[in-house]
Copies of this chain bind each other. A is one copy, B any other.
Amino acid sequence: MRHNDRLYEQTISSQTIYDGRIIKVKVDEVRLPNGKTAKREIVNHQGAVAVLALTDEGRMVTVRQFRKPLERTIVEIPAGKLEPGEDPLECAKRELAEETGYQAEQFTHLSSFYTSPGFADELLHLYLATGLQPGPVKPDDDEFVEVEELTLEEAKRLHERGEIRDAKTVLALFAWENRVLKQGG
């Protein structure tokens, strides 16, 4: 129960600032555990999926993409927003196929995590995809990506150089290295 949580912050009022295509922004006034009040700035997001797709040759499939908030191009694992009501696994299959052309024989759920819980509710579901079969790419109308396949060493080098630079991809890279270390390869 919420009100039994010692750390709970009760909403006193909530004001919607912006209701867009990708995000909704609101400002809540809350009652703190010590009785005082504070403002919380909150971004609502539909949630997303990302895929660590490994080829039979042990390469990670990545997409190079311009990210307007950063004003730069970075290298990421394939990912995309959930449609309303969409199953995360179906979304993962769809995004992998649309962005890279690959279909996968096996999908394994690796983790689901909030990308930035201090101000946003975006939940990202990360899958491992193996048994990849190539096919045609079908990117969204406003999406321009370049597909690249990287060895673990190449990916680690891109991370050191700052071209791999987003949470889901760095996380996927660590998860991948982990698997390799456990398999003694």
Which residues of A does B touch, CB under 8 Å? 2, 5-9, 17-18, 20-23, 25, 27-28, 30, 32-34, 36, 38-45, 48, 64-71, 73-74, 76, 79, 81, 111-122, 124, 141-142, 144-146, 159, 162, 165-171, 174-175, 177-178, 181-182
Some 14 contacts from A to B, beta carbons below 8 A apart, are: A6-B146, A7-B145, A8-B66, A17-B18, A20-B39, A21-B41, A22-B118, A43-B120, A69-B117, A69-B119, A112-B162, A113-B167, A167-B168, A178-B178
With A22-B41, A121-B70 as given contacts, are A171 and B167 in contact (CB-CB < 8 Å)?
Answer: yes
Chain B nearest Cβ from A80, distance in angstroms? 9
Q: How far is the CA of A79 from the CA of B116 in the complex (A)?
A: 11
With A117-B74, A165-B112, A165-B114 as given contacts, are A69 and B48 in contact (CB-CB < 8 Å)?
Answer: no
A146 adjacent to B7 (CB under 8 Å): yes
Which residue, A48, A68, A79, A178, has most C-beta atoms of chain B within 10 A?
A68
**A43-B119, A171-B174 provided; 4 other pairs, C-beta below 8 A?**
A20-B27, A22-B119, A40-B69, A114-B165
Q: How far is the CA of A145 from the CA of B112 in the complex (A)?
A: 23
B69 adjacent to A42 (CB under 8 Å): yes
Chain B residues near A66 (CB-CB < 8 A): 5, 7-9
- The DSSP consensus for interface residues of chain A is mixed
Chain B residues near A23 (CB-CB < 8 A): 25, 41, 43, 119
Chain B residues near A41 (CB-CB < 8 A): 20-23
